[in-house]
Each structure stands twice: as structure tokens, then as C-alpha cells.
Structure 1
Amino acid sequence: MRFFDKNFERLQDLYERIKEKVKEGSWKIMGGWYLQPDCNMPSGESIIRNIAEGRRFFMEEFGKRPTTAINFDSFGHSQGLVQILNQAGFDSYVVCRPAKDNFDFTSQNYRWKGFNGSEVIVHRSDENYNSVHGHAAEELEKFLNETREEEVSLFLWGVGDHGGGASAQDLKDLERMLQERREEYCIIHSDVESFFQELRESGEELPLVERGLNPVAEGCYTSQIRVKQKHRLLENEIYSGEKMFSAASLLYGKKYPARAVHEAVKDLLFAEFHDALPGSGTQLVEEDTLRLLDHGLEIMSREKMKAGIALTAGEKAIEDGTSCVFIYNPHPYEITGQFAFEAGLPKQNWEDVFYYPECSCNGEPVKTQGEMESSHFCIDWRKKVVIEATLKPACMNRIDIRFRAIPKRPVFQPISGKKEYVFDNGAMRAVINTATGLMDSYQVDGTEYIKPGSFRLTAYDDTYNSWGLRTPESCGERNLTLLTPHEGSAFSGLADKVVPSVKVIEDGPVRTVVEALFGWHESKAYQRYIFPKEGTAFEIETGVYWNEKDTFLKLNIQAAYESGEYLGQVMFGRETLRQENREVVAQKWNAFVNEDKALTVINCGTHGSSINAGKIGLTLLRSAGYSAADGNFERTLREERHTVRMEQGERIFRFRIEAGKPGELMDGLDRKAQIFNEAPYAFAFNPSGKGEKRGELITIDNPAVILSAFKKAASKDGYIIRVYESAGKKAKADLKLSAWKTVYTLEFNPFEIKTLFLDGKTGVVSEADLLD
């Protein structure tokens, strides 16, 4: 669809001819998605939008609704796709990857079972999706010999997305071959739906696959990490933004920005193209994709600001001598945690004092901490504020800020003279080794969860291949080590002083931040351990300044236990991932779990990882070549010139770490990952005091039931609410819409997706189709 969408006016004559061919039945619409996306890293919600966009277009323009989905070139396929395909009206699927050596059977056809028990039939095209120009007939001859035992089979030919399509010469050669072999075979030009119909009628017993169709091209789980991070950010902004826009529209009468959101969604979908998001494109593709994602982010930034202002209706104007920040919680549940934002002083401070913030949240005093602001201007004016608070669900929360004068900005005692720095808030105890900058202990309620030397940055030999990972010859590893005080001070830009490379940089009633500085070869990094004064979870911020070639970087966490199950979030589900240091792909979280312990890691845009004997390796970046692969040709990247590699420069990563007993922690992990990614929206604003303040839009009382979408319906007047069960258990939840006094009780099978339609006038909720 993307081709038609972008070329309609320029190729209108061709387009009309195609429509005529479709009408007469000589041109078949296959797949019917917006485009062929990556099928591992986009969220399940994004895949639904991709299908819905294509389905609307092909139905409106051609009157066609394919029942076979096609993703020939995608690098693997999440098991969560099965339920999406099933609910979207697809009964079959054609893929080329992974290849036959990934299966313990030879058949190209198999049943693929999803998390909720639904199934589709898959055809794995072993001959791949394209033939060499002018060689289609001889490739078909080889295919016939290899599939002689199959009663019915499918052969794909044509040059495909590598240029040229189905050539006249190939068609002529194939027609001749069809005549020559008509006594042995019934070979016809057909379509995929007809193939699957005949396959079913044959009664062939097909093998069953109950896992994701992975691994494929493991390097693509990490290549061009900026694209992956910005893609995740735009997903977060769209799906949290839609929830804001729905609240502003339904509760405050603001017009829903449907056209703007649709434009941002199409930016997101195009960035999910299977050579863009995976990072296998050229540097020009990377730049184009980043620009496209930035366009979508700018749209969402503007619309969220407008909605945020609308949602402050009924809030009183701020008092003289104070500042005010509003935080919108887009989620249907309370959030308790630490929230950081910036605001200005009511007036510039020209006095010889420092103004320290004190906050209230929704009228109640909360723990408050001032930290180093983003501005380095010489006047005490801009303030970074961190609070410990509970935000009310699906509504605006008001933060009033007062300031008290203290003699100067807080400074913190050096810790480098101690062997270790110990942080203990009563529930969590963490130990930082001041000689290494690494974490030697992380205990929750007295139980140890890591081994010494955890959160170590390690560089590994890599291939220059954009799709691959590691070298077949060796995989040498070098650790980034703590910089000397002189090296660390130079790296930090301190020209006139020397300070330790491990230090406390923030401390107060809300949290403590410890910074450590590392380096190896031509690269350096800072790592910040962010410890809250309440709770058992902490955050890691890692800033890498990378200048290496053909090397990949991991953040290694050594669990205190060596055996367990390695899990990862996938589309509308969770999957057990392979171990033994083999690279795997997941979405917002990974977890290493045994009967008694769970160590969880939530990310905001990193997908690749590995584990071996309890050592979790989060893959941060890889400096491979752009679109570099050898194939059957001479080795690439041997030109006698400078050749650009990926990931040269600054890259920043954030993780949330939490350990505990598996039950409650794992049941609520998708919710915690959603909070970390779709963060509450904060902005400084002085409201007018006009209007009427309303309550929350929606609440859901089960922590394992996740609100995937709340948006304006595209096909009729109303709103779409999409929820799913995330813990893999039967569940029940009450969905409440207070404005209409509506309570809708939901019952779920494990990992089940439910789509609902809300009539915004009456508050009536009813079940709806997946696609809108």
C-alpha cells in the first residue's frame, strides 16, 4: 500500500490500469498490509495499525480483503503475531525466514500456534521470494526435484524488491516449461489463497510449531540503535498521546486531532519497514528513517501540549511566588514513583543564595529533591525537580512548587576513599565498588540477586556484516575499565580540577545518583546508578561515546544464580528465550527467573540480548558496516579508503532493574514496562482558572490487564479501547468509565486481546473487531 499511498498522483494512469486488472481478476492483491514490517520489534499495537491501514485502503480502493498475510523478507516473526493474524481475519501466512535448518521437519507447510491457542497455516518458501532475472525456469526445475514428494506446493518467482519484477523473458520460459512438463505436473499461475485452499483440501497432516519463528539475522536486533530507540519513543508518544487526546475530547470537549495522529502513525509504520527498523539499510536510509521518526515526534509533541492545556480546565491560577507543573498520567491505574521535571523560578535569583524546591502533589506535601538542571547558565533560574508521589489514574495531576533559600547548591561527600559505597533504603541494598565502579551486590529484602562485578560494559569482536553478529574466527572481549581521576576529569570536561571517577552526583530525600566513568581504546562511557529512597527497583543510565569498528558492546549483569528460565516480552505475550550465549530478541523487558527469584530488566529501545549461566548481556550497540554483506561475492569493506561504520558518537541507554519473588513481580511486569516507556507527561503551565475540572477517564483494576490503546475510531463515531492479559493466566477485570458511571467486566483467557467500542455519547461499551 505504501507505494500507492506515496505515488498516486504521479502514477495515476498506471494506478487506474491496475484497478482495472484487479477488477477483471488478472491482478491479485496479496497480503494487504501497509507494508512488510519487521515482525519482532514493533509492538503488537503497531502491527494492528499496519494491518488496519492496509485493510482500509485495499477494501476502499479495490474491494479486496486478502485472507493470506505475506511477509517474505522480514527477519523472523514473533509468536504474538498468530493471535493478531487470527483476529484480523487471516487464516494463512507466507514467509521465507527462518530457513528450513531452523526446524526439525522438512515440510514447507506447518501449523503455527499462538499464545492464546489460535492457529494459522504457514508456508515457508524455501526457494525464497525472488528468482534471478532470466533464470526462473531453471530455478523452478530445481524446485520441482526438491519437492517431488509434496502433493501441492507453492513456487515464488520474479525479481521482487531487488528490481525488475516478473520479466517477459522469464514468463516466456516458464510457459514453455509448463507445456513440456504437463504430463508430470499440473503447474499453474495462481495466487496464495488458492494454494492454501488446495492444501487444506489435500488433508495433509501438518507439523505444529509453538514458538516464535526466530532467530534470523541476529545483528539486526541491535544495528542502527538510534532508529530502534527513536522508533520506540514514537510508539510511546502515539499510544500515550491517544489516551490524552481521548480524555481531552470526551471529558473537556476538545476536538480529537485525528488527521495529525494519522500522519504520525504513518510515519511510525514506514519506519517499521523490514530494512529500516532492523538497521540493514544504508546510511542514507538511517538518516531518512530518523528524519521520518522526528517528523512524527514533532506532530505528537505539539498535539500533546494542546491536549495538556485543555486537561487543566478548572485548575486555579498559581499563587504569587510559586511555580506550577502538571503531570498527566495516561494509564488507567495509580502510579507511585519518582518523577523528574523542570520549571522556572517565579523570578530570577540575583541574590547570594540558592533556592531549593518544596512540592505538593494534588494539594498534599511530597518528598522533593532539587538536582542539576539541563541549563548551565550562570543565574539560579531554571530548576530540575524530582518528587516521590502517587499520580491519580488517567487524569491531570497538579504539582505546586515553593522555594526556600539555602546558602548554596548542595555538594556531596567523596566516596572514593571508601572500599565500597553502600546504599540501603530498608527494602533494597546496593553496593558499588569504588575501585571498579561496578555493582558488587543488589539485595531485596535481604536476598542477594547479583554477583560482584555486575553492570560491566564489555566490547566483543564483531563482524562488519549488518545482519550478522560476532565473527566465526574469534570473539575476543575487552572490558571498559574505570578511568583514572585525571582521565575521568578530562572526559567530564573539568579543565581546572581533578576529581574521582566514582562519585555521588545527586542526593536528597527522593533518590541518590552515583556516577562512574569508564574507558577502553578510543571509547568512553559514563554510568549512573539511580537509587530511590523507597522501593526495590533502581535505574541505570549509560552514556557511551563510541569510536570503534566491527565491535559490539554489551552491558553484562551476572545473576546470583546460574539456572533458570530466560523470558522476554513479545507482541501481546512473553516467550521463553534460548540461552547458551545465543542472541535473542524481545521488546520492553527481559527476566531471568527460577522458582524462588526473578531478576527483571526493562528497557526503552534495546532489543537484543543473550544469557549464559546467569550472565545477562544486554546488547547496546554494534559498529558494523552499512548494508555490508559478503554473500557469494568477494568480502566487502576492503576498499582502500575510510569506510563509515554504524554508531560512531554518543549513544544513551536507560534501564530499570528490579528483583524479587517471581509471582507478583512477573504478573505486573508488563504494567511496569508500560510506565517506564509511556511515561507521564509533565509540563510547566499557569492555568487560567476557567472551566470545570473532571475526574479520571478510565480505570482497570487488574495489574495484569494492560490498556494497549484508547483512541478515536476511524470507521464510525466513537472510541476504540484495546486491552490484553499480559501474565499468561485466566483473568477478570473491571473497566470503569466514571464520566458515564459505566462498569464493564472483562474475562480473559491467557494473553487474550480484546477490542471494545465506546459510544462517547452514551458511555455504552461493546465488543468490537480488532481492526478499525
Structure 2
Amino acid sequence: MHNDRTITEARLKRVLDERIRPAVYPESVPLDVTVWHAPGEPVPVAEGLAAGRTPIRVGEMWGPAWGTSWFTVTGTVPDAWAGRTVEALLDLGFDEKMPGFQCEGLVYRPDGSPVKGLNPCNQWVRIGERVRGGEPVCLHVEASSNPVILDYHPFLPTELGDRQTADDAPRYRLARMDLAVFDRTVWELVQDLEVLDGLMAELSADAPRRWEILRAVERALDAVDLQDVGGTAGRAREELAGVLAAPAHASAHRISAVGHAHIDSAWLWPLRETVRKVARTTSNMTALLEDEPDFVYAMSQAQQFAWIKEHRPEVYARVKKAVAEGRFVPVGGMWVESDTNMPGSEALARQFVHGKRFFLEEFGIETEEVWLPDTFGYSAALPQLVKLAGAKWFLTQKISWSRTNTFPHHTFWWEGLDGSRVFTHFPPIDTYNAQLSGQEVAHAVRNFREKGGATRSLAPTGWGDGGGGTTREMLARARRLADLEGSARVVFEKPSAFFEKARAEYEHAPVWVGELYLELHRATLTSQARTKQGNRRSEHLLHEGELWAATAAVRAGFRYPYEQLDRLWKTVLLHQFHDILPGTSIAWVHRETAATYAAVAAELEGIVGEALAALAGDGPGTVVFNAAPHGRGGVPALGAAPEAPAADRATTMEAREGGGFVLDNGLLTVAVDGRGLVVSVYDRQTGREAVAPGAAANLLQLHPDFPNMWDAWDVDHFYRNTVTDLTDVESLEPAGADAVRVVRAFGSSRVGQRIVLAAGAQRLDVETEVDWHETEKFLKLAFPLDVHTDRVAAETQFGHLHRPTHTNTSWDAAKFEACAHRFVHLQEPGWGVALVNDSTYGYDVTRSVRPGDTGTTTTVRLSLLRAPRFPDPRTDQGVHRFRHALVPGATVGDAVREGHRINLPERRVAGGAEVAPLVALDGDAVVVSAVKLADDGSGDVVVRMYEALGGRARTRLTAGFALRRAAVCDLLERPVGEAAVEDGGVPLDMRPFEIVTLRLARG
């Protein structure tokens, strides 16, 4: 019997490939083709349609990298085809194995209205279902010759990732431009056989159902006359009707298929190309919705809707109509599918604010699900933000990519930092590009981990990454799998319908507490340092822009720049997309990103400067503005005052025996040895030494960095096996009265550092400038500390989370590179150390016991630079500047304060006014993340704050203006409850890490 099965399966494959599939289009005639190659960047549709054309033949090459060619195909439907279905087959030179990663096209009618997109798995355009014969055919195709960047084995460095470095050689060969008869019966036979073949392959060899299908397939193949497939396809389908009609078991798993096309807002293509990818895909999906009444399509990322609204209004009109009909479903509620590790607190909140608001204003839809299938790990702050944004569900698939530990759940409650929980689903089909093949469906059933407690899962169905979406073949599979013995039941429905049913059936879902750490793609916390620095700087400038503009609006009648701030926020949010901020896009993307961040900074500096000038007023003095929390406990200082006199005690410097220097400011004594390394940081107030005995801090370390795969994405644990300590000194000398400067050379690179002990500062500042010209190397900055602790606190959005310093379990060991925002904090009872930064995210921590069991050394290393060659062959080459500070004796509150300080330096403005804070908080545990005017233009002041220390907090917000009313709001500034106003202030009791947004109406 085994031999029978093998023979039949081999027979089926050959007959399908060589006879039945080709018979789907039994007759064809060539179309006439002309082309215009647009010089430079894409042109408007009207210009592309009107441009002159020259003839081109099938087989000719076209399309340099990143070019646009406008093809026109013309012909006439043969009279002999009257009554039959006719389609145009337009193959631009596709490789069907790589949808989304190569040339694509959008088809237009002569009047410029879009028809549908063309991609490797969707090459047909319907001309007519029952043609008369003699109809003229004229179609225009806007074709993009996007080069193939991604070749999985191996990842090869390429200059094709930027139009400035790509060659101009044509990359594609025009393959087919025909009119053809479409034989629906043969096409349906193909779908029957493919579904049964896929199901049969997943059934056990001794399952009776497998053999029933096998015998039916044999009969069907016997019934097909290979010389007349079209004439006998109906007879073959009759032989399969019985096995296709057998119903699924009552206990069969249920799969909710959702039409989907994960479109990276930038990745192996620039932002401008994504605009066209979205237009192609949505044209396809709206056309498919018209043809398929049971189809439901979901699309996330408000930015992508906004793009087609701006650039392809004719496509957007179709989208709006389909959304109104309820079958084109906006999901996600975020501006883009952002990274969630690195965006700052307010930025992650604003992803929801701008995304949700767009869907409300454009479609009147309150999106309830957060849709992030492909992001590289998920912050523990998200559950609270999801709830505060008015959403209920969370979906991702990416955790299935983890390489060390298998995540234990598919449907569960996810609990965040503050205790908020969100109902969460990981599709067990393990792909966001599902095709509903027999293998995928069977895998979903086997893989589902909540068997017995739940019966259903979701399957995002359609070609993604580069777009394309769902195909008619996928819908045909779903129809056959709706109720088929041996398979899960498959039905297309909205994500909300799935979540409602899943929640209703799952009374006691398991709970996962804390971050969803992806055990892969850890290097995304470091790759493309300029992009990460631009993001960090933009976030803090936006904070300042809103704060000072709001203060100036209330105090001095300053015109609050609503529209400008809205636009700038959306620009920054776009660049937090999960292949931009993580540094995993082509060179073109990061080149444009750097220019964008520079423009954003210039605009925001202008807003800040104008607001501060309005506040400072006239006068001969200097006003110091401070947007950062200050004081030992982190009390927000949201106003300004005349400049204070310098600290009484200056820093002293002495030469150190054997080379090096000793710096002392009365609070800390710092020893720098002849190698320019910090060998002592002595806290004089507590008598504690921060640096571990015999060790040296501020140590630059260089590792080889050649991961097994995913160059810009991954750093593998074995990188630590080889390390070079950078201790050679080119020069070491005083740099003013309070600093030492050291210069080193290594490889093809140079680094200069200023080690600064400022007067009156309980911290050691380190300013590093690296002229980086290494390849496949990883640069770390190490601080071995004399602290015994089994965990560190790393700042995340609206709080911090603890990670282990040990590797007791495989889960602990897998976190060998993790994310911290502005600080990492370590402590023993009564004494701690903070390490703060102005622009880095990746860090690692290790512990060791010193010889003779004389104590524990806990080493924290901050990740500075990498040098992967794919997809950008010159990643991070050039000059970079970083600032860090070591803060001995620090509490978590000190870490919060110093982290803000290094990112929000004081501003000094000429003037004589004393500017009272617009709002002030009592206590040291609550930190303000935003002060702004309400987005609706009402003039209300909106303040968002959070408990930062991880404990209960009682505080009082005092308004620096007449306060008429206060309301607690959601993230979108919609009131959800009244707040008590007492004597011009608002008393608050806050939970650990709780976020509170207040809307303050002025009297």
C-alpha cells in the first residue's frame, strides 16, 4: 500500500504541473505592448498615462533598480471566444517564489481608474465573464522594477539598497502579455486536488480518511483525458465530490481566516515605494471583495491609509466604500506597526492616539484589537496602554520565531507592568502570510497549546511583507475547508468576531506576566545608531516643544502650533516602524531617515526657541529652563528661573602615580589610570566603592559579530567567546579642570573620550566620540561594578522592569541582550548604582564571583555600535557621539532623574522673567511624561504622568493657572471620569506604574 501511495502522489504532482494547471488557460493570443520608462522617481498617474510609448516585445529586458516603467497593452478579444471568460495574463518577469520582494505593477483603465495590482502570485486581470467577442482591450500598467535585495542563503552585501549606489542595468525580462480564455471548471479542479493533496499529506499513513482521499484522487486522475482536460475536468470533479462533502468532526479545531497583507512601511524598499505597494494591494483587495461575498480583509497602520488618501485618492475611495460595508476592516489602532522596545513612553502612547483617532475620524470606527504580527518583542508597558487607548485585544505572531524557548500559550491574558491585562492571541499557524495550505492548517491544529480549554485560532491569510494580499486561490481553499473531514473548520471573519468567540469560550485563560521578549533579533537594539539617536532626540524635543509651547500659550498668549506638532509627531511615529527604528532597512531608508530627523529637530528647535523667548521676556539676565525632573526624588520641574550661581566646591585634579589622574569634587573621588580606564569611583558620602576590585570601568570592548543569519537583526550568544579590550592609549591628558581626555586607535577606527566629574555632581559623565570604520564588529562599553544583586532594573515606557543577572533557566540565559531606555539600575539593600545614557538601547549584564569568594562583580555593558553588511553594506560607518553617566549611590528615583537630565539638558535664554511651572507635583515618585494643550483646540491643558518607582504614590498636581475643572481621560483625551479639584489642585492616589492623564479646564 505504501508503494500505491507514493505512485499516486507522484502521478498527481506531474499531472497537475504538466497538464491540468496549464489547461486553466487553454487558449491565448498575444497582446501588443508599448512602454515608457520614467526618468528618475515615480510620476503622477496622469503623467504616466499621457507619456509617449515605444514598442517592447515579450522576452526583452526592462527596468533598472528602483525604476518605473509604464506599459500599455492593447488587443481585441477574438470573436471565437464569445460566451467564454477572458482574462489578461500580465507577467512582468516574476519569480513566483518571492512575492513582495521584486517587480510589481498596478493596472489602470484608460480613464486612469485603478483595476488591481500585479504581483508574482496574482498575474491575471479579468476582461469579461461572458464576452461577446470583438471587444477592444486597453490596459496601462505602472510597473516598479524593485530589485531583489533578499536572498536568504546567503545574505549578500549589495549596493542595490540605494538608488544612489545601484547600477542602471535592466533587471527583469518581460515574460508574458496575453489575452487568454479562463476555464473555471479546470481551475476548480486544480483547487480540489490541491486541497485534498495537502490534507492527505498531513493525515497519518494508516488513517482510513487518507486512503479514501487517495482512491478518490486516483479515480479523478483516471477520469481526466490528458488530451482534453477542459472537456473532462467536470467528470474528474464528480469523482472528488464525495470526499469533499464529508463533514468535519464535531470537535474539529476552528480557524478564523482574516484576509491580510502585512506591508512593511519600509524595509527592503524606501518609504515612497510603500505608498505604491499599499495602493496595489488595496486595489487588489477591494476588487476581490467585490467578487467574493464571504471574504473579509483587515488592514492595520493608519499611516498606510493616510498615504493612499493623499497619493491615490481614487483607490482610497474604494477603500472607504468597502470599510463602510463592513468587510474591509481597519485594525491595530496604531499609526504604524511600530517597534515597541525602543519608542519612548509618550511616543508609544501617541502611536495609539494618532492611529485610533485616524480611524475614528475617517471611518467612525473604534478599533478594539492591537495588531502587531511582526514586531521584534513587546514591551511590558503595552497592556496598560492598550486598555487606556480603549482597545481590548492583542495579536502577534512573532514570538513563534524565538530560538531558545517555546512560548507556552497561544491564547492567554497578558499582564503588564502595572497589573493591567489584555486578552492576547498568537496564531498557532505560525505565519502572518498564511495560504491556508493543508500543511499550514494541520500545523495550526497540532501546534495549538490551549487544546481542551479553547477550540479556535486565527490565521492572517495573504501574501505579506511586501504586500499583495489574499488571492482567489486562498479563498477557494477556505471554501473547501469550511467543513471537511480530517481538517480544521475554516471560515473568513473579522478579527473582532474571532476575539469575541475566543474570549467567550475561555473561562480560565492562563496568564503571562511581563514583557514578551523575542529570543531573536536582539541586535535591532543597536544597528543603525544614527537612526536610534535621531529617534531619541526627536522624542525629547517633542516633549519640550509641547511643554514650552503650552506654557507660553497660557502665560504669554503664544500661538500653540497644533498642526505643526501633529505633523511632526506623525513623522516621528512613522520612523518607529519595526524595520526603521530597529535599523534593519536598506541604506536608502536610513539615509532619508537621517535627513528627516535633522529637519524635525530644526522645526522643533524653532518652536522651543520661540516659546522660550516669549516666556523669558526682556531683561539683562539669563533664564534657565528645565524640562526634566529634578531634585533627589525626581520632582518635575516644568518651569524656569533666573540662572543660579555655580556650585561652591570646584572639582580638583591630581596626577596619579604611574600615570593617570584623580578627580575629586567632594562627593565622588574618581581614579583614572594610565590606560584611560576608570579604576575607582568612590562615593564619599557612604564610603562605598562602585568599581569592582581589580577591574576597570569605562572599558571599550570589541567583539567579532557574524551571526548565523539576519545580519542587521541578530547577535548570537557566541559573539562573547572572543573579545578585545581596547586599552592602548594614543593620548591621555587633562581637558579642563574637571575632565580627562583619552584617545585610542583600533582597527581602522579611532575613539576619543572625555571623562568628566562636574562640580557638585554625584555622577561621572563619559562623552564618547567614535570614528567607526569596522566591519562585522560589535563595540561595547563595560562597567564592572561591586554590587551583589540577582536582578537589574531597566527603564521601559512608563516605568522599569527587572531582569535577572543570572542564567538559572533557559529563559534567563536567552536574555543575553536586552533593552533599556535611559537607565539601568543595580542595587543592594541601602546602596545602588545607575548607568544612564542619551541614545543607546541595547545592554547586557553578567555576574562573576571574585577569586577566593571575596565578592560578586556585576558587569553592565552598553552596546554602542555594530557593523553588519546586510541589508546596508555600510551600516554605521562614520562619526558617532554618545553620552553616558555612572551614578554611585543612586536610588531608582535618582536613575529616573539622571536619565532625564542627560536627555533634556537645561536651556539658557536671555531675559529677566521668572517663569512659574505650568503644573507641579508633590512627592518624588510621580513623573510627568507630557504637558500640552488638548488636541481639540479647546485650550484645556492635558497632563500625563506615571508612578515611576514601582510603588504606591500619593501626590497632588498643582496648576499654575486658574483651574475650573479636571477630568481623568484616556490616551485620546476623552474624559472617563471626574477628578476632584481642591484649592486649585488635584489630589491623586496612584498604583505602581499607573499612567494617569488629566484634562484641566482653565478658569
Query: Normalising by the residue count of structure 2, what TM-score does the alignment of the two structures yield?
Result: 0.61
Q: Pick one of 704, 714, 734 that aligns with 1:504.
A: 734
* 2:249 is the alignment partner of 1:19: no
* 2:857 is the alignment partner of 1:617: no
Match of 1:385 in 2: none
Q: How far, CA to CA, are the matches of 1:2 and 1:292 in structure 2?
A: 16
* 2:933 is the alignment partner of 1:712: yes
* 2:501 is the alignment partner of 1:262: no
* 2:940 is the alignment partner of 1:701: no
Instruction: Give the partner amino acid of 1:140.
Output: V
Instruction: Give the partner amino acid of 1:223.
Output: S
Q: How far, CA to CA, are the matches of 2:843 and 2:504 in structure 1?
A: 42
The answer on whether the counterparts of 2:787 and 2:826 sit within 8 Å (CA) in structure 1 is no
Task: Summarize the alignment of residues 128-277 of structure 1 with structure 2, pairs less than 5 Å apart.
Answer: 128-131=430-433, 136=437, 138-147=439-448, 149=451, 151-178=455-482, 180-181=484-485, 185-215=488-518, 216-277=520-581
The answer on whether the counterparts of 1:565 and 1:594 sit within 8 Å (CA) in structure 2 is no
Distance 1:693 1:504, change over 3 A: closer
Q: How far, CA to CA, are the matches of 1:102 and 1:745 in structure 2?
A: 47
Distance 1:573 1:749, change over 3 A: same
Match of 2:89 in 1: none
The answer on whether the counterparts of 1:131 and 1:139 sit within 8 Å (CA) in structure 2 is no
SS in 1 for 2:553: helix
Greater helix fraction, Structure 1 or Structure 2: 2
Q: How far, CA to CA, are the matches of 1:12 and 1:625 in structure 2?
A: 39
Match of 1:632 in 2: none
Distance 1:190 1:392, change over 3 A: closer
Match of 2:690 in 1: 449
Q: Pick one of 953, 958, 961 that aligns with 1:739.
A: 961
Structure index of larger Rg? 2
* 2:582 is the alignment partner of 1:278: yes
Unpaired runs of at least 5, structure 2:
1-301, 647-651, 807-812, 848-857, 963-982
Q: How far, CA to CA, are the matches of 2:837 and 2:645 in structure 1?
A: 31
Task: Summarize the alignment of residues 665-680 of structure 1 with structure 2, pairs less than 5 Å apart.
Answer: 665-680=891-906
> What is the CA distance between 1:393 and its match in structure 2?
3.9
The answer on whether the counterparts of 1:136 and 1:157 sit within 8 Å (CA) in structure 2 is no
> What is the CA distance between 1:97 and its match in structure 2?
2.4
> What is the CA distance between 1:31 and its match in structure 2?
1.2
Instruction: Give the partner amino acid of 1:480.
Output: L
> What is the CA distance between 1:292 and its match in structure 2?
2.0
> What is the CA distance between 1:135 and its match in structure 2?
6.7
Match of 1:751 in 2: 993
Q: Pick one of 782, 792, 798 that aligns with 1:566.
A: 792
Q: Pick one of 402, 408, 426 that aligns with 2:666.
A: 426
Q: How far, CA to CA, are the matches of 1:241 and 1:303 in structure 2?
A: 6
The answer on whether the counterparts of 2:478 and 2:490 sit within 8 Å (CA) in structure 1 is no
* Deviation by residue 1:640-679 (Cα, 9 ceiling, x = unmatched): xxxx33111211110121011x6xx223422332222122
Distance 1:312 1:542, change over 3 A: same
The answer on whether the counterparts of 1:461 and 1:475 sit within 8 Å (CA) in structure 2 is no
Provide the alpha-carbon RMSD of the alignment: 2.7
Match of 2:885 in 1: 656
The answer on whether the counterparts of 2:697 and 2:783 sit within 8 Å (CA) in structure 1 is yes
> What is the CA distance between 1:734 and its match in structure 2?
1.7
* 2:778 is the alignment partner of 1:552: yes
The answer on whether the counterparts of 2:413 and 2:421 sit within 8 Å (CA) in structure 1 is yes
Match of 1:462 in 2: 705
Instruction: Give the partner amino acid of 2:943.
Output: I
SS in 1 for 2:795: strand
* 2:821 is the alignment partner of 1:587: yes
Distance 1:654 1:147, change over 3 A: same
> What is the CA distance between 1:519 and its match in structure 2?
2.3
> What is the CA distance between 1:523 and its match in structure 2?
1.7
Indicate the structure whose relative CO is greater, using CA pairs within 8 Å and at least 6 residues apart.
1
Distance 1:162 1:578, change over 3 A: farther
Match of 1:77 in 2: 378
Q: How far, CA to CA, are the matches of 1:457 and 1:123 in structure 2?
A: 42
Q: How far, CA to CA, are the matches of 1:597 and 1:693 in structure 2?
A: 37
* Deviation by residue 1:736-755 (Cα, 9 ceiling, x = unmatched): 12333722211111111110
Q: How far, CA to CA, are the matches of 1:37 and 1:413 in structure 2?
A: 47
* 2:421 is the alignment partner of 1:119: yes
Unpaired runs of at least 5, structure 1:
319-323, 338-390, 403-411, 489-500, 629-643, 763-772
Tell me the number of residue pairs that the alignment of Structure 1 and Structure 2 aligns: 646
Q: Identity of counterpart residues, as a percentage?
A: 24
Match of 1:327 in 2: 624
Q: How far, CA to CA, are the matches of 1:566 and 1:414 in structure 2?
A: 34
Match of 2:841 in 1: 607
* Deviation by residue 1:168-193 (Cα, 9 ceiling, x = unmatched): 22222332333544x85432101221
SS in 1 for 2:616: coil
Instruction: Give the partner amino acid of 2:481.
Output: M
The answer on whether the counterparts of 1:330 and 1:395 sit within 8 Å (CA) in structure 2 is yes
> What is the CA distance between 1:332 and its match in structure 2?
6.6
Q: How far, CA to CA, are the matches of 2:407 and 2:918 in structure 1?
A: 51
Match of 2:368 in 1: 67
* Deviation by residue 1:681-720 (Cα, 9 ceiling, x = unmatched): 234x4x5x8xx86533222122221010011111351121
The answer on whether the counterparts of 1:283 and 1:626 sit within 8 Å (CA) in structure 2 is no
Q: How far, CA to CA, are the matches of 1:401 and 1:447 in structure 2?
A: 30
Q: How far, CA to CA, are the matches of 2:325 and 2:591 in structure 1?
A: 41
* Deviation by residue 1:65-89 (Cα, 9 ceiling, x = unmatched): 1211111111000101111111111
The answer on whether the counterparts of 2:653 and 2:662 sit within 8 Å (CA) in structure 1 is no
SS in 1 for 2:461: coil
Q: How far, CA to CA, are the matches of 1:217 and 1:555 in structure 2?
A: 20
SS in 2 for 1:739: coil
Distance 1:399 1:392, change over 3 A: farther
* Deviation by residue 1:561-586 (Cα, 9 ceiling, x = unmatched): 35432110011121112435811111
Instruction: Give the partner amino acid of 2:860.
Output: I
> What is the CA distance between 1:680 and its match in structure 2?
2.2
The answer on whether the counterparts of 1:600 and 1:658 sit within 8 Å (CA) in structure 2 is yes
Instruction: Give the partner amino acid of 2:712.
Output: S
